[in-house]
Amino acid sequence: MNPSPSHYRQHVFFCCNQREPGGRVCCNDAGATRLRDYAKQQIKKLGLAGKGRVRVNQAGCMERCEEGPCLVIYPDAVWYTYRCEADIDEIIDSHVRNGDVVARLRLP
Ligand code: FES
């Protein structure tokens, strides 16, 4: 029996965790939910969304809070930080579309 193909080619997980004010930093304070929504919108607009293609997902804390806001792309297991729409565009254009890692935004 042949192994079944993956339902999605890639998952882009955004930590959107929100903490109470005054505690440890969190990704949502740096715009994670807003930029996750932007990424979803762009992925859809570019025709990359859907079965066999790319899925943008919301995640809880991934314990890289101080390095965030962070996202991780699987199955590549490449972690990124980002600050703005232009960073998201670069990650989509370079990594998601072409498989080229964006070194300047990559988390070690
Ligand atoms: S709050 Fe995002 S990694 Fe912890």
* pLDDT tens-digit readout, 56-80: 999 999 999 999 999 999 999 999 9
If one counts the domains in the chain, the total is 1
55 falls within a domain: yes
* Predicted local distance difference test score (pLDDT) of residue 103: 98
Going from the Cα of 1 to the center of ligand 1, the distance in angstroms, rounded, reads 40
Pick the residue whose CA is nearest to atom 1 on ligand 1: 26
> 4 pLDDT exceeds 80?
no
The pTM (predicted TM-score) of the whole model is: 0.94
How much is the average pLDDT of 20-41?
Answer: 96
Residue 95 DSSP code: I
Going from the Cα of 104 to the center of ligand 1, the distance in angstroms, rounded, reads 20
4 falls within a domain: no
2 falls within a domain: no
Q: Is the CB of 62 under 6 A from ligand 1?
A: yes
Query: Is the distance from CB of 48 to CB of 9 less than 8 angstroms?
Result: no
User: 68: closest CA among 40, 35, 100, 38?
Assistant: 35
